[in-house]
Structure 1
């Protein structure tokens, strides 16, 4: 840096002095000198975007008639295949749902039958107990009459 010549700025006394790198004699010093840069702005090129309708129109103009008919046929076959697959799936699902519904009805019917049988058993047991009680009350009254009769007859003999 000793071989560098300092450039003075006499017009502005408060400014720093610059180093003049062009006058440097040592080539090693030239490699370490700062690179000068230039600030630039990047501008995006304007890209024309076509609307969907414009692209379709352009495709229709460039496509051959055979390709168009083939594409339509393939698309319709795809749609029909999808539709038939969905219909088959729907039938299969309906069939399984129908079977499940029938099984559910059978289970509910068995539960109702069991409930009804239990209710009938309870009612029969209740009626049986009521009849037994009535018979016991009749027998008790009969024994009470006999006892009363014996006491009445016995009161004559004593």
Structure 2
């Protein structure tokens, strides 16, 4: 397996659709933290509206890609976080987890077919309460931003340790 040094963290969504902006909020928190506690070299923080082509461009060539996005679930539990882990070498058809019409499921499937998946992909899908027009997250979703930023940082550390051991 090829070794990739780059790590891509992508917040997906629309910050003007309330809870759909959770991915952007997590990336903003990580940027804020990075001012005093830098992320490892080669770590890229980005936001995306969920367009499959843009997502693929952001994670292509990365050893690890972590994607944070809002999700719809029925019945839902606003603020509940689902962690989905996919390895490029062991991937079937992923479930669609995005709150967008064409979303992560389609982007992952397209990247798989094109051979443009990252080495390792971790998706954090956050169940939202409100995707109406406007800014600001609902209290339940706002409450997971800091813990999610912690989880993303832990993913990066786990990836670096595994890569140093030759496991990735």
More strand by share: 2
Query: What TM-score comes out, normalization by structure 2 length?
Result: 0.19
More helix by share: 1
Query: What TM-score comes out, normalization by structure 1 length?
Result: 0.20
Larger radius of gyration: 1
Greater relative contact order (CA < 8 Å, ≥ 6 in sequence)? 2
